[in-house]
Structure 1
């Protein structure tokens, strides 16, 4: 059963253990099986965290949300794929998320739209500085000059 779950997608040890416990399996048996899977290389929290983080980055989520989601899945470390991204790159990802959802209109005089876009980016997991940077870009030309 555990192998079938792993065959579908990567799981963290915590996730897989939770799913198996929900099926009322013996806790000692679950631990032995998961230890064996880790020894065989079939179960790896590092691999799971890296794949999960890259996937969420590609979907234009920010670092705060990705870290929170990983913690919910039992991952207490920052994967390399997340740690390797600079603040400047996060600002560019926030800008891409804004552009995809709202376009790059000038928001200097439209406080309602600015607040709406700031809430969206904040919920996506970007820091206040990253959100401000994304909202300050007014056009494609300006976006190209900053990148």
Structure 2
């Protein structure tokens, strides 16, 4: 046993609350994520619920902050449909998810266009290129109308001089 192994074995195990705070210090988590991560370390599901209720009560665990964090991390790369699906997987309250998705829909064209410029930068030369570009944007969760407008070149010019 090395010196670091000996010191690690002497270190007390983290409490559930300590584990939860460690996860939250790294990034925002949804209640569902923390439940899944803490469950193997808890004696009962009620113990996990008690810790999560305490963290919510103190404002350390917030569905609103989690949604904002997810939008911040993913909105430049993904459309509203894809992010809405991810928010639904985290079982956030309906009003929080609806508000977040509405904010995304307002900027969907601009975000899709910026992603398209980074990836392709020029209009498609062939029908195959057009289909490829459209599939790319659609797979990222952008709406069909936004995808068509971006690939057609509607609304924004490619030059940054304008």
| Bin for the TM-score computed over the shorter chain | 0.7 to 0.9
- Preserved contact between residue 46 and residue 79 of structure 1 (Cα < 8 Å): no
Gap runs ≥5 in structure 2: 1-18
1:95 CA displacement: 1.1
Partner of 1:84: 103
Pair 1:104–1:40, CA change in 2 (3 A): same
Q: Secondary structure at the match of 1:125?
A: coil
Shifted more, 69-78 versus 39-48: the winner is 69-78
Partner of 2:139: 123
Query: CA offsets, 1:46-79, max 9 Å, x none?
Result: 110112112211x331000011111112225325
Q: TM-score, normalised by structure 1?
A: 0.84
Partner of 1:114: 130
2:60 pairs with 18, 21, 42, which one? Answer: 42
Pair 1:102–1:72, CA change in 2 (3 A): same
Q: Secondary structure at the match of 2:141?
A: coil
Higher-RCO chain (CA-CA 8 Å, sequence separation at least 6): 1
1:86 CA displacement: 4.6
Q: Secondary structure at the match of 2:135?
A: helix
| Rg larger for | 2
Shifted more, 16-25 versus 2-11: the winner is 16-25
Write the distance in 1 (CA, Å) between the matches of 2:80 and 2:161: 23
- Preserved contact between residue 116 and residue 150 of structure 2 (Cα < 8 Å): yes
Partner of 1:28: 46
Write the distance in 1 (CA, Å) between the matches of 2:73 and 2:54: 27
Is 1:140 matched with 2:158? yes
